[in-house]
Structure 1
Amino acid sequence: MASEKEKMLNEKPYLASDDELATERLFSQSLCFEINHIPPAKIENRNKLYQKLLGSTGKKFHIEIPFYCDYGYNIEIGENFYSNYNCTILDCAKVKIGDNVMLAPNVSIFTAGHPIDAEMRNTGLEYAIPVSIGNNVWIGGNSVINPGVKIGDNTVIGSGSVVTKDIPANVIAAGNPCKVIREITNEDKHFYFRKRKFEE
């Protein structure tokens, strides 16, 4: 018979109140608490704890505090990852983040969800579906990435977006629910903000 952890990792309904999972969340919460209370200048100390907490990291990454997650071991971040303040990742399933990804303040990534039916929800069952974010992605502040979402390479997600469905590569997308606004083109190389051009 599958354990609740095995069910969780295999995208099946599971009980989060399970003792093994509760113990693992407490370990993660304790590490997050320690990380979030390290003085800002002690980056090396903080990064060593992030490497202990997370499933895998690139050699170069920077995560501002505070940072919160459920388990940590389900989070994989690539090279040159940057997360601004107050990132929350509910990593009951795998969260895979590519190289050169930037998260603005208050980005939340959720793999966990609950049944729609109230009677089933009240049993304590929940589920977890993986999230995947490609290379060179920028996610704007206060955005929410929901369970099962895949975001393609080079894409920009506008601030305040609620991403409920997959977003392709090489686009700007925004809104609630998040939708593609337009493709990113070579013309975008000339501008840093709206119609403001880079100096030649």
Structure 2
Amino acid sequence: MQGKKARQKLLKTFNDTSPDELDKRSIILRELLSTLGQRAVIEPPFFCDYGYNIHIGDNFYANFNCVVLDCAEVTIGDNVFLGPGVQIYTATHPLVAEERNTGLEAAKPIVLGDSVWIGGGAIINPGLTIGRGTTIGSGSVVTKNIPPNVFAAGNPCKVIRYLG
């Protein structure tokens, strides 16, 4: 496992690639991330804490400016698509100021099931699962688990309707 500076350098190298350097991007991502499936594309710029806590399935696409704070495991299924500016946060802090001021931190894993689509600018909070086949609307703030095969949106994100 690489040190933090080495990972940051890898991420900078990835983010500095040109559009015709797809093979170079793939090589860097395979070194940075724990698991990267076949036909997985991440558009730079991309930001993460560690990389080694990220597991990505096949046929994945992340548009520009995605952030994954992977202090805990982030598991992303097959056929998952992230719009631009999606943010996935495993990191959390105490709500009580006195506890937070001590520097106490925690992290909770996130799971995105197969065939999930997250609209641009959505935020996925710590410890959540988004079920298979679900679509999350752009700009949503997901604060609770979302079941499979639904369209959910809003702040806080709520199920709008069930899909076929």
- Give the alignment's TM-score, normalised by structure 1: 0.80
1:50 paired to 2:32: no
Superposed counterparts of 1:134-173, under 5 Å: 134-173=113-152
Q: Indicate the SS of the match to 1:174.
A: strand
Aligned to 1:73: 52
Aligned to 1:95: 74
* Cα distance in structure 2, aligned partners of 1:96 and 1:84: 18
Q: CA deviation at 1:24?
A: 3.5
Q: CA deviation at 1:163?
A: 0.3
- Find runs of 4+ consecutive structure 1 residues off by over 3 angstroms: none
Aligned to 1:127: 106
- CA deviation vs aligned residue, 1:9-39 (integer Å, no higher than 9, x gap): xxxxxxxxxxxxxx84333222111100011
Q: Indicate the SS of the match to 2:61.
A: strand
User: Which blocks of at least 5 consecutive residues in structure 1 are unaligned?
Assistant: 1-22, 186-200
Q: Indicate the SS of the match to 1:125.
A: coil
User: Percent identity, aligned pairs only?
Assistant: 56
Q: Indicate the SS of the match to 1:180.
A: strand
Aligned to 1:112: 91
Letter matched to residue 52 of structure 1: E
Letter matched to residue 49 of structure 1: I
* Cα distance in structure 2, aligned partners of 1:97 and 1:59: 13
Q: CA deviation at 1:99?
A: 0.2
1:29 paired to 2:17: no
Aligned to 1:3: none
Q: Indicate the SS of the match to 2:75.
A: strand
Q: Indicate the SS of the match to 1:106.
A: coil
Q: Determine which structure has the larger helix proportion and give its number.
A: 1
* Cα distance in structure 2, aligned partners of 1:155 and 1:70: 26
User: What CA RMSD, in Å, does the superposition of the two structures yield over aligned residues?
Assistant: 1.0
Larger Rg belongs to: 1
Letter matched to residue 65 of structure 1: P
